Structure 1
Amino acid sequence: MTVARAPGWRGRKPPVLKKFGQHFLSDNKILSAIVDALAPTASDTVVEVGPGRGSLTDILAERSGKVIAVEIDRALAGLLRDKYRDRSNVEIVEGDFLETDVRSLVGGDYLLIGNVPYYITTPIVFKALETPMPRRSVFLVQREVADRMSAKAGDEEYGALTVNIAVVAKVEQVMTVPASAFRPPPKVESAVVRITPLERPLVPPEYLDSFRTFVQAAFGQRRKQIQRVLRSVRAISIDQAVAILEQTGIEPTARPEVVSPGEFATLFRLLRETPT
């Protein structure tokens, strides 16, 4: 698929700003495949994080009912407004997505997509897991981060990021993207991930912040036995720690990296219910 430039672009290309981690995807086949992974329809509202020069936006505008593109770079936002001034279904919002009230933009149901700057991938993903959570999200991220997001307990890449996502959503790696597909090319390989909310989250939304703190503390001590980890995050006795672990079927000597997301969710609940 060829992505044509709208007349308002006038052939201009703003400079790449390193402070925003900008790497523009230039391969039209990959761009189309990324939108395929999101699978928007004419009835969908799509929020795009960091539209850049509008390469993904062009395709989204053709396949979606409405596109709301949030761009932090003032120069790019201005050029995008010019480019899409005749497209009634494209809205350009200048601002930081992390500080954007998504609910005020979309109301309820929406899809989320973005070529995410590597240095703020985790905050953006966590924001995508907040209420109102998009029905489906697709991100282009660093391959290493994608591996961490989709890892299984016991994998080398398994960690706090894996667990914090897995208790509320399913993650799939859709495809890898070589550095040569970008301008300028990054120093690392990238991957496309799709995030779909669980019908029944393992941790209630009101407890997610404290759950993330618990998981982060656990993996900050990943070489410790899980019974010691529990006692370090909550003032409980060794007998209480062992009793909690017996209820979950986890060996007291197990390490955090072999504890599954579901087991972490259960441990968190039991810790909250245990008197100190």
Structure 2
Amino acid sequence: MPKITTQQLRKNTQASAANAAVKPATIGAPQRPPRAAQKDGAADGSRHFGPMFNKNLGQHILINPLVSQGIVDKAGLKQTDTVLEVGPGTGNLTVKILEQAKRVIACEADARLAAELTKRVQGGPLQHKLEILHGDVMKRDLPFFDVCISNTPYQISSPLTFKLIFHRPIFRCAVLMFQREFAMRLVARPGDSLYGRLSVNCQLYSKVTHVMKVGKNNFKPPPNVESSVVRIEPLNPPPPVDFAEWDGLVRIAFSRKNKTLAANFKATATMQMLEANHRTFCAANGRIVEDGFQIKGAVLGVLEQLGYGETRASKMDIHDFLKLLSAFHDADIHFC
């Protein structure tokens, strides 16, 4: 046998120790993904279909086909209808609309979801009926449509509602999904706890009815609140009311809706605003403000004349507010 020197023995010992420190991988053992990768896929179901949904944009996709069909049925679609859909998402509701309408214009702000919807109908018999508008619906002029259907992103509920109400030409109806509390405010009647400025403003220009309740488990990912569907039918012709004047009156009346109208109108800031408006109106129309004119006496006089001084806004209906606005205008008192 060849001789092994002390130096060679030391080197062999060090090499063996280094090899022993390296543990071989277990064959067939599953590789656990990084902790961040486990979270990215969304235990909340946000990858249920296509790209991850963005909750900050209100992307909660309706997945219950029975609810989708119920919404379409309540719209009463005709084969000649052009339908505007706001927030189509991945198209679960869109395909049901396409089956019954002549044309669907889908407005989607998220380019990823617009691409998913395009792929869903591409090459099929419904492709020629669909037009996709990419962008924020609140920043663009709406095209002509007969019916609007929307699983509405909740953060644009109020501006979208009034954008539709004031859209011309007047459409037949809109069937819209909203957060339940917002929906119940739209349909609230005098005396209801949720009756307020939103109720009055919407009901002045349209007939609003509650269609159905929709639980949060009908969406992916599920929202934190329950939802409801309402049907809005714009009045045709609309009432000949200046909305800025109307809203100015209603804003004061509901500033503290359980206080009397007299108490709300007596607020110093309110009286100063009404006096400035009165002087501006008189100057613009060639009228002279009478010596000793007191805006407070004029306002309270109108309320007393109509018997509304001790009335609360929460108990007043549309006709009460129209009557009050007309009386204020007769007294040259304006709200904008």
TM class by smaller structure: 0.7 to 0.9
| Alignment match, 1:129 | 165
Q: 1:142·1:190 contact (CA, 8 Å) conserved in 2? A: yes
Q: Does 1:66 align with 2:103?
A: yes
| Alignment match, 1:97 | 137
| Alignment match, 1:40 | 77
1:21-69 per-position Cα deviation (integer Å, ceiling 9, x unaligned): 1111111011000011111111111000100010111001010011000
For structure 1, list consecutive stretches of 5 or more residues without a partner in the other structure. 1-10
Distance change (3 Å), C-alpha of 1:37 and 1:256:
same
| Alignment match, 1:220 | 255
| Alignment match, 1:17 | 54
Distance in structure 1 (CA, Å) of the matches to 2:182 and 2:109: 22
Matched residue SS, 2:84 = strand
Deviates more, 1:264-273 or 1:181-190: 264-273
Distance change (3 Å), C-alpha of 1:48 and 1:165:
same
Q: TM-score, normalised by structure 2?
A: 0.71
Distance change (3 Å), C-alpha of 1:224 and 1:234:
farther
Distance in structure 2 (CA, Å) of the matches to 1:179 and 1:203: 40
| Alignment match, 1:268 | 325
Q: 1:234·1:271 contact (CA, 8 Å) conserved in 2? A: no
Matched residue SS, 2:128 = coil
Deviates more, 1:60-69 or 1:11-20: 11-20
Q: 1:68·1:90 contact (CA, 8 Å) conserved in 2? A: yes
1:101-123 per-position Cα deviation (integer Å, ceiling 9, x unaligned): 11xx22xx521110111222111
Distance in structure 1 (CA, Å) of the matches to 2:148 and 2:252: 30
Distance in structure 2 (CA, Å) of the matches to 1:96 and 1:213: 28
Distance in structure 2 (CA, Å) of the matches to 1:160 and 1:101: 26
Matched residue SS, 1:174 = strand
After TM superposition, give the deviation of residue 243 of structure 1 in Å: 4.4
How many pairs align? Answer: 259
| Alignment match, 1:8 | none
Q: 1:227·1:238 contact (CA, 8 Å) conserved in 2? A: no
Distance in structure 2 (CA, Å) of the matches to 1:91 and 1:60: 13
Deviates more, 1:72-81 or 1:156-165: 72-81
After TM superposition, give the deviation of residue 143 of structure 1 in Å: 1.0
- For 1:92, give the aligned amino acid: I
Q: Does 1:184 align with 2:242?
A: no
1:115-169 per-position Cα deviation (integer Å, ceiling 9, x unaligned): 1112221111111111313210010111111111100111100011100001000
For structure 2, list consecutive stretches of 5 or more residues without a partner in the other structure. 1-47, 276-293
| Alignment match, 1:119 | 155
Q: 2:110·2:134 contact (CA, 8 Å) conserved in 1? A: yes
Matched residue SS, 2:233 = strand
Distance in structure 2 (CA, Å) of the matches to 1:26 and 1:13: 13
Q: 1:171·1:196 contact (CA, 8 Å) conserved in 2? A: yes
Q: Does 1:253 align with 2:289?
A: no
Q: TM-score, normalised by structure 1?
A: 0.86
Distance in structure 2 (CA, Å) of the matches to 1:115 and 1:152: 24
Matched residue SS, 1:51 = coil
1:55-112 per-position Cα deviation (integer Å, ceiling 9, x unaligned): 111001010011000001111112223333441111000011111211xx22xx5211
Distance in structure 2 (CA, Å) of the matches to 1:225 and 1:195: 31
Aligned with residue 195 of structure 1, among 213, 229, 232: 232
